[in-house]
């Protein structure tokens, strides 16, 4: 009789869900997969800015997504990992506590916006960390007349949120506050288009400022200036839960598990780390957390788990970026195409072509999950080849 190996996946976001489905499909008959997540509803993190402005998204339940795969779903919080005993301690939603044994662990807990570094953020600012926090912001905006709203952080999340608010709530005056220039990673022409869209939507941009405190009626900037507002969204800074560090698994300064080329923990090779909670190094540096990079890591981890069980040589993970897709409300977008190291190429898309492209490549992953239940999806189907930028082709 085949010895069934226990695979436990912590986190059922974009990466954890695909890792669980991939392992169950690729190693069918060889593994039993348990998926642990605090919420029953699958959260589409890429679309939280839409929820925050009152838009209704389709609801997908995790038990429905994994139905028919043999995956067991445990709703609860992973509170500890005993690497010696190879068990995960879980506090379930009904107040119980369970210990789940594993032969292989997939660490896919993701990351959240850091609300701890600046005083007042946790108490007075909205975030897009969960459906509930996004819904709280939507309820706030729905009851605003002519008002002022601040978006702190001009990364892609901040830009998408600012444009979404300005478009869906024209009575709300939106100000984007940032230490750096918005979309600084884009090429000159794509960035100029993005800045023009912000201006068209009436978003005021204040770059080169640093928020030092968030208060109920606004924020304080470095130097003492007070910027009054009726609400504030915080999108800057990333935090990974300390679960791995507290479990004495090798992590970097951000709490992400340091992996080898196969996506295994360098200190505990029976643990794979994927997505935002993994420090994965490529030739150009450590991958930054995006859905674009995270989903291929999940597919690759599942592939290597199956290869190991089948006695095959594990494959190293290689990834290169392809694009930077940015929504500018529901009626506009800009796509900056990139080299593998995420630096901008000359090519970009705007307007309707960009909307179509973004909806094609950044649509709900549910179709991918349905496909993963039938086919063994490889990381090659989801990722481009990694490598340094060839400057001679710039």
Please say whether the beta carbons of 221 and 259 come within 8 A.
no
Q: Which of 245, 158, 166 is nearest to 202 (CA)?
A: 166
Determine, yes or no, domain membership for 100. yes
- Does one domain contain both 97 and 163? no
Structure tokens at 181: 């220039």
Return the SS3 of 228: strand
Q: What's the domain count of the chain?
A: 2
Determine, yes or no, domain membership for 341. no
- Does one domain contain both 99 and 122? no
d(CA 181, CA 178): 7
Determine, yes or no, domain membership for 258. yes
DSSP state for residue 145 in the 8-state scheme: S
Determine, yes or no, domain membership for 345. no
Structure tokens at 53: 């402005």
pLDDT attached to residue 161: 96
pLDDT attached to residue 386: 37
- Does one domain contain both 140 and 85? no
- Does one domain contain both 47 and 98? yes
Please say whether the beta carbons of 277 and 244 come within 8 A.
yes
d(CA 313, CA 232): 50
Torsion of CA 130, 135, 141, 143, to 10 degrees: -150
pLDDT attached to residue 44: 85
Domain of residue 73: give its range: 5-111+240-318
SS (H, E, C) 92-115: ECCCCEEEEECCEEEECCCCEECC
How does strand 323-327 pair with strand 112-113? unpaired
d(CA 70, CA 76): 19
Q: Mean pLDDT of successive 10-residue segments in the chain (394 residues)? A: 86 95 94 96 87 88 95 97 98 95 97 93 94 93 92 94 96 96 94 97 96 96 96 93 96 95 98 96 88 90 96 95 93 95 95 91 81 77 44 30
Determine, yes or no, domain membership for 351. no
- Does one domain contain both 176 and 273? no
- Does one domain contain both 245 and 229? no
**In this structure, is the dihedral angle defined by the CA atoms of residues 126, 131, 132 and 134, taken in order, positive or negative?**
positive
- Does one domain contain both 76 and 156? no
- Does one domain contain both 131 and 223? yes
**At 180, which CATH number?**
3.50.50.60
pLDDT attached to residue 382: 66
pLDDT attached to residue 387: 36
91-126 burial string, b = 16+ CB within 10 Å, else e? eeeeeeeeebebbbbbbbbbbbbbbeebebbeebbb
Determine, yes or no, domain membership for 196. yes
Instruction: Return the residue matching tokens 């490598």.
Output: 387
DSSP state for residue 61 in the 8-state scheme: B
- Does one domain contain both 149 and 298? no
Q: Which of 210, 158, 207, 150 is nearest to 175 (CA)?
A: 150
Of 186, 202, 235, which residue is a domain's last?
235
Of 235, 260, 290, which residue is a domain's last?
235
Of 318, 347, 370, which residue is a domain's last?
318
Q: Which of 384, 380, 373 is nearest to 17 (CA)?
A: 373
Determine, yes or no, domain membership for 18. yes
- Does one domain contain both 105 and 119? no
Determine, yes or no, domain membership for 323. no
- Does one domain contain both 161 and 22? no
- Does one domain contain both 79 and 169? no
């Amino acid at each position: 009789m085949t010895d069934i190996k226990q695979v436990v996946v912590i986190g059922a976001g974009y990466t954890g869900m695909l890792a669980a489905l991939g392992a169950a499909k690729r190693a069918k008959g060889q593994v039993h997969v348990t998926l642990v997540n605090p919420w029953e509803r699958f959260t589409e993190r890429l679309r939280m800015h839409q929820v925050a402005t009152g838009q209704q998204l389709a609801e997908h339940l995790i038990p429905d997504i994994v139905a028919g795969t043999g995956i067991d779903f445990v709703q609860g919080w992973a509170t500890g990992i005993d690497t010696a005993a190879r068990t995960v301690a879980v506090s379930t939603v009904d107040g119980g506590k369970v210990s789940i044994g594993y032969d292989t662990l997939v660490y896919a807990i993701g990351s959240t916006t850091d609300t701890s570094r600046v005083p007042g953020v946790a108490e007075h600012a909205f975030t897009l960390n969960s459906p509930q926090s996004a819904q709280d912001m939507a309820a706030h905006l729905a009851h605003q007349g002519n008002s002022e709203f601040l978006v702190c952080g001009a990364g892609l999340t901040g830009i998408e949120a600012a444009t979404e608010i300005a478009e869906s709530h024209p009575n709300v005056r939106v100000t984007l506050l940032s230490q750096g220039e918005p979309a600084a990673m884009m090429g000159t022409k794509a960035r100029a288009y993005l800045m023009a869209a912000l201006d068209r939507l009436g978003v005021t941009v204040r770059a080169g400022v640093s928020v030092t405190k968030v208060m109920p009626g606004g924020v304080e900037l470095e130097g003492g200036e007070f910027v009054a507002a009726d609400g504030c969204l915080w999108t800057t800074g990333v935090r990974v839960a300390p679960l791995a560090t507290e479990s004495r698994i090798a992590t970097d300064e951000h709490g992400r598990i340091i992996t080898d080329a196969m996506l295994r923990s360098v200190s505990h090779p029976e643990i794979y780390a994927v997505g935002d909670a993994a420090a994965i190094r490529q030739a150009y540096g450590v991958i930054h957390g995006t859905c674009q990079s995270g989903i291929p890591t999940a597919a690759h981890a599942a592939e290597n788990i199956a290869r190991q069980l089948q006695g095959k040589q594990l494959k190293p993970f290689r990834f290169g970026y392809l694009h930077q897709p940015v929504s500018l409300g529901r009626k506009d977008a800009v796509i900056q195409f990139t080299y593998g190291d995420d630096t901008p190429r000359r090519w970009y898309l705007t307007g309707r072509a960009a909307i179509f492209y973004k909806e094609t490549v950044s649509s709900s992953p549910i179709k991918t999950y349905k496909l993963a239940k039938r086919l063994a999806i490889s990381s090659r189907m989801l990722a481009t080849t990694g490598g340094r930028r060839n400057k001679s082709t710039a």
